[in-house]
Structure 1
Amino acid sequence: MMKLHLYHLYVMFKYGKELFVADALSRAHHFTSDPPLTNDLLEVMTVQVLSSHHIDELRAAVQKDVTCQQLSDMIRNGWPATSKELTYSLRPFFSVRDKLAIYDDLLLHGERFILPPVLQKFYVGQLHQGRPGIAATKRKAKETM
């Protein structure tokens, strides 16, 4: 008979400026009160900000964009010692090279998508819906892309 372990997790939204302690769950390898789960079925939930259509559209744009392809190559193959060895289009990424990643053929800076120029105007327009103002739109853009 398989033993079923149930854990209840409650999530509360807090602004970044209110987070004083690092998230303990991101560093917890297992719960200390119970033995680690073995041979149990776990359900993993992922949250996507973009619909699958927009993800596919973003992936296609990344594959077509020359700068994105050069950036992908740098992430996969390694960076040169100095930014002077890079093309001008890749130099802005040199200072954040340790935060760049590729996931499912998408470019990420931390948890944010890197958008090719062909899609930037569309997504800034999406963020500006409801007319929150320039400062609020820029803040939203920095948080998400």
Structure 2
Amino acid sequence: MKKFHKMLYDRHFTLVTDHKPLLAVFGSKKGIPVYTANRLQRWGIILLGYNFTIRYASTEKIGQADALTRLIASREMEPEDTVIATVAVEPEVRAVVLETMNQLPVTFDAVRDATKNDSILQKAMEYHQSSWPTTCPSGELRKLFQRRSSLSVVNGCLLFGDRIVLPTELRQRVLAQFHSGHPGISFMKPLARSYVYWPGMDEHMEQVCRSCFRCAAVQKLPNRQLPQPWPQPEKPWSRIHMDFAGPINEQSFLIVLDAFSKWPEVLIMSEKTTMATITKLRHLFSTFGIPETFVRQ
């Protein structure tokens, strides 16, 4: 696109690719996914200056263009001009993943071996390397489908951004380490999210903390503050309070109370809608005037 910038700029064109995962990165109306590899993010910023529609076509249908790129054997290109052939995690992300694994009670090789025996993760990796179905799957695969644009495969392991996706047989062991200090759910969740991911992780942590007495003891207690009374108004109809009551005998009522005189106005409501309430209040204000303070329960 840089080579044909003068012809493409300020014109709408169609960008055809034979790599379907790029549709989720550059064709999404939600923008570039947060956990997209750095190289793809740089390309996305460059493409923001163009008006185009990206679509997928198999290699057989664009064989002429594909052949021309392969015929050039000895041509030096800048790193940013390299054609993206796969959605991969860059070396610095791999280093981050390996560093993360050093903090966990499992090794990268153990995760890779367990991933081979996990049917859900194997199916997700298969979809990622080919293409995801158009309809949303069910179960754990559904949550991975919803995050498919941020998934990647590194050395036989599935990653969500820069976090390793744990297979089922290792989750309890890792969860036990995060829970070993009994930090409580409010601290345990962000700690676990910074290292690993698996579908339903939050629900699993909540279940563990709810069944743990020591975690319950460190939970943040709500503030015990005594209710503060409203100040006494200095004149009638300066502050009014409103609430609904009913249904009583199949009728609903709008109750408006003057805080100074404690005088109630009870209005029958045929329906409890915004417009019906506004109509009743306008009629009331035309009689008593507009209050300074209006309190709605």
Q: Which is higher, the Rg of structure 1 or of structure 2?
A: 2
What's the CA shift for 1:106?
A: 0.7
Q: Percent identity?
A: 29
- Please state whether the residue corresponding to 2:194 is helix, strand or coil: helix
What's the CA shift for 1:64?
A: 0.8
C-alpha contact (below 8 Å) 1:124/1:137 kept by paired residues: no
User: Of 116, 131, 135, which residue of structure 2 is paired with 1:78?
Assistant: 131
User: Of 134, 147, 166, which residue of structure 2 is paired with 1:115?
Assistant: 166
User: Of 100, 103, 106, which residue of structure 1 is paired with 2:151?
Assistant: 100
C-alpha contact (below 8 Å) 1:101/1:107 kept by paired residues: yes
Task: Give, as a single letter, the amino acid of the residue that structure 1 aligns with 2:126.
Answer: D
Which stretches in structure 2 are left out of the alignment for 5+ residues? 1-37, 43-91, 197-297
- Please state whether the residue corresponding to 1:78 is helix, strand or coil: coil
Query: What does residue range 38-77 of structure 1 map to in structure 2 within 5 Å?
Result: 46-47=95-96, 48-51=99-102, 54-77=107-130
What's the CA shift for 1:119?
A: 0.8
TM-score calculated relative to the size of structure 1: 0.62
What CA distance in whole angstroms lies between the structure 2 residues aligned with 1:138 and 1:105? 26
What's the CA shift for 1:73?
A: 0.2
C-alpha contact (below 8 Å) 1:65/1:116 kept by paired residues: yes
What's the CA shift for 1:87?
A: 4.8
CA displacement 1:6-62 (0-9 Å, x = unmatched): xxxxxxxxxxxxxxxxxxxx68x9xxxxxxxxxxxxxx89351224x6111111100
Indicate the RMSD between aligned Cα atoms, in angstroms. Answer: 2.6
What's the CA shift for 1:94?
A: 1.4
Task: Give, as a single letter, the amino acid of the residue that structure 1 aligns with 2:125.
Answer: S
Query: What does residue range 20-31 of structure 1 map to in structure 2 within 5 Å?
Result: none
CA displacement 1:110-137 (0-9 Å, x = unmatched): 0111111111111111112322222211
Query: Structure 1 residue 139 and structure 2 residue 190: aligned?
Result: yes
Which residue is equivalent to 1:36?
Answer: none
What's the CA shift for 1:82?
A: 2.3
What CA distance in whole angstroms lies between the structure 1 residues aligned with 2:145 and 2:195? 20
Which residue is equivalent to 2:141?
Answer: 90
Moved more, 133-142 or 111-120: 133-142
Which stretches in structure 1 are left out of the alignment for 5+ residues? 1-25, 30-43
**How many equivalent pairs are there?**
103
What CA distance in whole angstroms lies between the structure 1 residues aligned with 2:139 and 2:171? 19
Bigger proportion of residues as strand: 2
- Please state whether the residue corresponding to 1:46 is helix, strand or coil: helix
Which residue is equivalent to 2:80?
Answer: none
TM-score calculated relative to the size of structure 2: 0.32
What CA distance in whole angstroms lies between the structure 1 residues aligned with 2:190 and 2:95? 24
Task: Give, as a single letter, the amino acid of the residue that structure 1 aligns with 2:141.
Answer: L
C-alpha contact (below 8 Å) 1:62/1:68 kept by paired residues: yes
Higher relative contact order (CA 8 A, sep 6+): 1
Task: Give, as a single letter, the amino acid of the residue that structure 1 aligns with 2:133.
Answer: P
Task: Give, as a single letter, the amino acid of the residue that structure 1 aligns with 2:157.
Answer: L
